[in-house]
Amino acid sequence: MHIYKVKPGSTVNLAEYDANDNQLFPDGKKASKKALEKLNKKLENLQELLYAEHKHKVLIVLQGMDTSGKDGVIRHVFEGVNPQGVKVASFKVPTPKESDHDYLWRIHEHTPGNGEIVIFNRSQYEDVLVVRVHNLVPPEVWGKRYDQINEFERILAEEGTTILKFYLHIDKDEQKERLQSRLDDPTKQWKFSVGDLKERKRWDEYTAAYEDVLSKTSTKYAPWYIIPSNRKWYRNLMIGEIMVDTLKKLDMQYPEPEEPLEGIVIE
């Protein structure tokens, strides 16, 4: 079992997880660049194989506090993959139409089809995170959703979807630095929102909500990984390695040509 995987049924206390950890790659940032390039190439080849075989489907869920690096993971870990077979779905405040349906309705239509990798930038878990912290629905409503989400993911898994869920773990000091960086850099100010500061004041509430998510919804068929993310390069390496290892285990094969190719001469 991977050291960052949350064991099903365990109780998570995020204070016990070091957001600065880099024990699986102590060589440092400089060496990580070449290592990530190799992972990118492996992932590119595996994704092409996944697309060609058209049998498996892969769902990646990215969650974390503001500034934890969800966009950065998508940009760096999946660099070079064929956009034809990789899609990103972002879930923000529900639209009026989405609000007229159950909370999983808008999620289901974005799940991957055969041969696809879909990355959720935020996900169904917003409905036990933001909804809980901001008291948008009563506890008796959101409290049922852990089991509902588990069953939803079970259906996806039984229908052939490989699910990997990554919690990008940063500490409060690191978030402060990243917010300040956005504020100070004119090229990053478009990312800054005053609302981020309001959410930051709810750090402890979000931590408690995430601990419940990680404790109650890490399953054998849809595990959570708590990825140390203060070091961006380490975060990217760990997610890349887990992705590559998982895709290799699918034991994928290129399909046979539809017609015999022997004797064909291209003039």
Mean pLDDT of 181-190: 92
Q: What is the pLDDT of residues 203-258, one digit of tens each?
A: 999 999 999 999 999 999 999 999 999 999 999 999 999 999 999 999 999 998 87
DSSP H or E stretch at residue 167: strand 161-169
The yes-or-no verdict on residue 264 having pLDDT over 90 is no
At residue 263 the predicted structure's pLDDT band, cuts being 50, 70 and 90, is confident
CATH architecture, range 14-248? 3-Layer(aba) Sandwich (3.40)
The model's pLDDT over 68-116, given as tens digits with 9 standing for 90+, comes to: 999 999 999 998 888 888 999 999 899 999 999 999 999 999 999 999 9
DSSP letters, 171-223, are -HHHHHHHHHHHHH-TTTGGG--HHHHHHHTTHHHHHHHHHHHHHHS--SSS-
Q: In this predicted structure, what is the pLDDT of residue 19?
A: 98
Q: Please state the pTM of the whole predicted model.
A: 0.95
The confidence score (pLDDT) of residue 238 equals 98
Q: What is the pLDDT of residue 118?
A: 97
* Helix residue ranges, H only, the chain: 29-53, 70-77, 96-99, 105-108, 130-133, 139-142, 145-158, 172-184, 194-200, 203-216, 232-248
